[in-house]
Amino acid sequence: MRAEGFGGDGPKNGEAEFREFAIGRWPALVRFAYGLTGDAGHAEDLAQITLAKAYASWARVRRADDPDAYVRRILINAQHTRFRKRRIREATGPRLPEPATADGTDALDQRSDLIAALLQLPPKQRAVVMLRYWDGLTETQAAAVLGCSVGTVKSQASRALAKLRTSPLLQDGSLPC
Amino acid sequence: MLNDETLEERLHQDLDRLQPGSVPMEALIGRGRTIKARRRAGFAAGLAAVAALAVGAPAALSGGGGSPATSGAAKRQIVLASGTIDGKTWSFVTEEPAPKGGCPGVSGRWGTTRADFCLGLMPVTTDPVSLSSGGGLSTVNFFIARLRPDVDHVTVTGTDGGVQTPAVATVSGNRYELFALPAKQGIARLDAIGTAGKLIAYTIPYNEPEHARSLIQLWYPAGSTPTQAVVKQIIFSGTMPPASTPVTATVDMGPFGVCLLVSVPQGLDGGSKLGPDCHSLTPPDPTSLTSLRSYPIGARKLFLGEVNTAVDHVDVTFSDASTTRLTPIRVGGHSFVVTFVAAGLDYGVVRAYDASGKQLAALS
C-alpha cells in the first residue's frame, strides 16, 4: 500500500495524483506568481491557470524528470502570455488601459519595497530572480525551466541584481546597498 | 551590499507573508478539462483540414475546386447571470456552441478574477441541490447550484444575514442558479423550495476558514432540526523538522457534518491549509478504514482520519517495518486517529483493533 491509497478505492489514479500534487504546490505557486505579478488576485488566477494546464497535460507532467520545474515553466509562459496580451490591449484597445492592479489595491498597499522593485525589472529578469533566489534553483536548473542558456541566466541575474541595488525603492535602508 | 543571500532572505520574508487560501480544486479541474477539450477539438479540426487538403489538392491540380476547411460556426457568449460586488459587475458567461468533445462550460468573471466550471462534471446526487464553487480567494467566490427536477429554486442566506434568490438558468436541459459572493462571505444556509412553493429541505454548509469555499454534506428535511452541536477541537499539534514548523490538525463538527482541516503556517511548500475534508455525521463502519487519508506537508505527511468508536487502537506499519500505535482521540462522540510520517517513509499496513484485541479492519 502506498500513502496515496488512503481514502481511495484502490490504486491511485491520475486525477487523485494530480489533486495531491495541486494541494501540495498551490501555496508555493501562488507565492511564485505573486513575485512575478505583485498582485494577490492575479497571482491566484495565474496559479489556477497553471494547474489547469498541468491537469490538461498531466500525463506529460508526471512523466517529466522534474514535474515542479515543468509546472514553473507553464506558470512563467502563462505570465508572459498575459503580459503580451495586456501590452497589445493597451497599445491597440479603444478604451483606456486597465490599471495593472485592478483587483489588487489591498495587495498593492501591502506590497513590500522589494516586490515593488522586482516589478520594475523586465519579465525575464524577474523570472530569473524568482527561480534563482526564491526557488533556489541552480543556474543550470533555471536555464532548463526558462528554455535558455546558462549564460543567459547568469547575465540576466547579474543585470537584475544590479538594477535592484540601484532601485530607489530599496534606498530606505531596508536592504543594505 | 545586496547579494545572493540577502536577496534570498528578503524574498522569503516577503513572499511567505502571503497566505493563499485552499486550492480551488473543482474550478481548476473544470478549467483543465476545458483546455483539454479545446486541444482535442483543435486537433480534430487540424485533422479535418489535412483531410480536406488531401482531398482538395488533387482536384485543384486537375482543375477542379476543393472546399476550404472551416473551423465551424462562430462562437457567441451568453450571459447567464450577473450582479455587482463592490461596485464592479460579476457575470457567468457560457459559450455556444460548446467545444466539441468538451463539457458545457460556464465561466464566472469579476474583473480579472475568473473561475471556469464544467457543468457536466458537477456531481449528480439525490440531494436537492449540488453546489460547486471557485474563484479568486481574496476577491469573489462564484457558486453554481444545480437543482434537482423537483426543486423550483433555492434561496441563499449569506453569513452576513442577507438573503437572495438567484435567477434560475437552464443549460443543456439542466437547471442551475449561478451567483457570486465576496470572498470574505460564506453561505449560512440554503433552502430548497419545491415547485409547490414549499420548503423541501435545507442545508447548513461548512464554510472554510476565511470562507474560501462552502461545502455541503447534509440536508435536513423541512420541519427537522439539526441536533449536532458545533464542536471544534485541535487533535494534533506538533512541530516539523528541520525548521520546527508548527502543524495542527483540527476537527470541526456541527450541523454541517464532520470536517478535518490541517494547517501549516507559512514558509512551507506543503501549504498553509490542507482540506478541509468533510463527511456526514455517520461514523465509518467498524470494518472500514477508508476515511483515513494522508496530507502531504513538504517531504512529510500527516496521516489522519475518523474511525469507528468501537476501535480501541490502530497500528500503522511503515515501509521501514517500524510500527506505531495510535489511540483514537474522542471528539463529540466521534473517534479520530492522527500521526506524523517521517520523510522518506511510506505506509505498509494499517490495522484497527477493538478493546479485546480483536482485529476489526485492515488496510494494505
Cα–Cα dist A132/A173, whole Å: 23
Judge whether B361 and B286 are in contact, CB under 8 Å.
yes
Q: Do A161 and B39 touch (CB under 8 A)?
A: no
Residue in B35, B347, B349 nearest the CB of A52? B35
Nearest residue to B33 (alpha-carbon basis) of A55, A77, A60? A55
Residue ranges of chain B with per-residue pLDDT less than 50: 46-72, 267-271
Give me the domains of chain A, ranges plus CATH numbers: 1-109 (1.10.1740.10), 112-177 (1.10.10.10)
Would you state the pLDDT for residue B184? 80
Residues B54, B60, B63, B65, CA torsion sign: positive
Q: Do A52 and B32 touch (CB under 8 A)?
A: yes
Distances (CA, A) of A15 to B125, B146, B196: 20, 23, 41
Q: How many CA atoms lie within 13 A of A72 on its CB side?
A: 25
Q: What angle do CA B78, B123, B108 make, to 5 degrees?
A: 30
Would you state the pLDDT for residue B186? 87
| Chain B residues with beta carbon closer than 8 angstroms to that of A138 | none
Would you state the pLDDT for residue B19? 73
Where in chain B are the domains? 25-49+75-221, 231-363
Q: Do B303 and A28 touch (CB under 8 A)?
A: no
What are the average pLDDT values for consecutive 10-residue runs of chain A, which has 177 residues?
30 71 84 87 86 90 81 89 50 30 34 82 91 85 86 92 85 45
Q: Which residue has the cell 470562507?
A: B211
Residue in B31, B39, B296 nearest the CB of A52? B31
Dump pLDDT digits (tens) for B107-123.
888 876 777 777 766 76
Which 118-177 residues of chain A touch chain B by CB within 8 A? 129-130, 132-134, 136, 161, 164-165, 170, 174-177
Q: How far is B363 from chain A (nearest CA, A)?
A: 8
Distances (CA, A) of A111 to A169, A170, B109, B210, B248: 12, 13, 25, 21, 28
